[in-house]
Amino acid sequence: MNKLAVTLADQHVSLSLKNPVLTASGTFGYGLEFAPYGDLRKLGGLVVKGLSLVPRDGNPMPRIAETPSGLLNSVGLQNCGVEAFLRHKLPLLPSADVPIIANLYGASEEDFASLAGILGAEPAIAALEVNVSCPNVKQGGAAFGQDPFAAAAVTEAVRKNAGDKPVIVKLSPNVSDLAAIARVCEAAGATAISCINSLSAMAVDLAGRKPLLGNVLGGLSGPAVKPVALRCVWQVCRAVSIPVIGVGGISSAEDVLEFILVGATAVQIGTANILRPDSVFRIVQDLPAACEKYGVERWEDLRGKLAVD
C-alpha cells in the first residue's frame, strides 16, 4: 500500500494521486520541458500551463523581476491554445502514469464552459483546474475570482460541461474574504480548491523612474509568499469540506508537510521549478524521509492537526 497516496474527491467524482505533490500551472510549461530533469511519472500530478480557447501572445516584455525572496511575473497567460495543446503536447505526456490536469483560462463564462466541454471529453485529461485568479490579464482571470457571484457562475459552468472530471478552482489571495469565495465555489460544484495564485504586486527602477515590468503590475510568488499562502490555506480549510490544494512558495518536503498540517490534502510546486528544474522531483523524493523525521505514518495523522489554543 502506498502511504503517500491521497485522493481529491467530492460526492460525485474523485481523483487518486500517488503522492500529494503536483506542479503549479504556469511554472512547469506543458510538462515536457522538465523531462530531462526527472521522471514525470513519479509526480502526484502535472498541472499544465493555463489554456485558452485561442492562442494568447501574453504581455509585453519585461515580464519577470527578482524581488527579495520572490519572483514577480507578468507573463499574461501566453499559451498555444487548447487545440494545439491537445494535438501536439498532450499525446507526448505520460498520461497513463501521472494525472494530467488542464488549467483553464477564459475571458467570459462562455469561454470557460467551452473549454470545459473540450477538455472534459478528453480521456487523457484527469481533472480541470479553473483559473479565476490570474492577476496579469485585464479581462477575466482575477475578476472572476474576486466576485463571489462570478466565481460561482464560472465554477458551475465548468462543472456542467466537464463530464466526470474533477473540477479544481484556483483562487486568488487578492480578496478581502477568501474563505467566502471558497465556500461559494464549493456550493457551485467544485471538487477541490487550490490556493493561492500569485499576489498582485509591483517593483520599480528608481534610477530609471520606470516600472520593472512591461505590464506595470505583476504577480508575486516564491518563498516570500509562503506565509500568506499558509494563512490562506488554513482559513479556506476551516471554511470548506472539500479538499484544498496548497500553493505558494513551497520549496522543500518540510514545506509540503507544513501545508498539510494546516489542512491541505495536496500541494502544488510553482516558483521552485523556475529556480531549479529538478525541484519538484527532489521534493517528491525527499517526502518519505521528511514524513519519517516528523513521525507522519499516515496523512490523517498530520492533516489539519495544527494545535491552536
Q: Is residue 174 a contact point for another protein (CB under 8 A)?
A: no
C-alpha closest to that of 226 among 267, 200, 255:
255
Bridging pattern class, strands 70-73 and 218-221:
antiparallel
Nearest to 78 by CA among 62, 55, 61: 55
C-beta of 85: minimal distance to another protein in Å?
8
Between 85 and 299, CB nearer to another protein:
85
71 contacts another protein (rule: CB under 8 A): yes
Residues tagged active-site: 134
Nearer to another protein, 49 or 165 (CB): 49
Helices marked H in 17-147 — which ranges? 82-84, 109-120, 142-146
Q: Are 111 and 143 in contact (CB under 8 A)?
A: no
Query: How distant is the alpha carbon of residue 18 from its chain centre?
Result: 17
**Could you say which of 15, 24, 28, 257 contacts another protein (CB under 8 A)?**
28
Taking the C-alpha atoms of residue 263 and residue 245, their distance in angstroms, rounded to an integer, is: 9
Q: Between residue 37 and residue 56, which ones bind another protein under the rule CB under 8 A? A: 37, 55
Q: Are strands 199-201 and 218-221 parallel, antiparallel or unpaired?
A: antiparallel
Residue 205 as a binder of another protein (CB under 8 A): the answer is no
Q: Is 105 in the site for another protein (CB under 8 A)?
A: no
Note whether 200 binds another protein by CB under 8 A. Answer: no
Catalog residues that contact another protein under the rule CB under 8 A. 26-29, 33-34, 36-37, 55, 57-58, 61-64, 66, 68-71, 73, 75, 78, 80-81, 84, 87-88, 222-223, 273-278
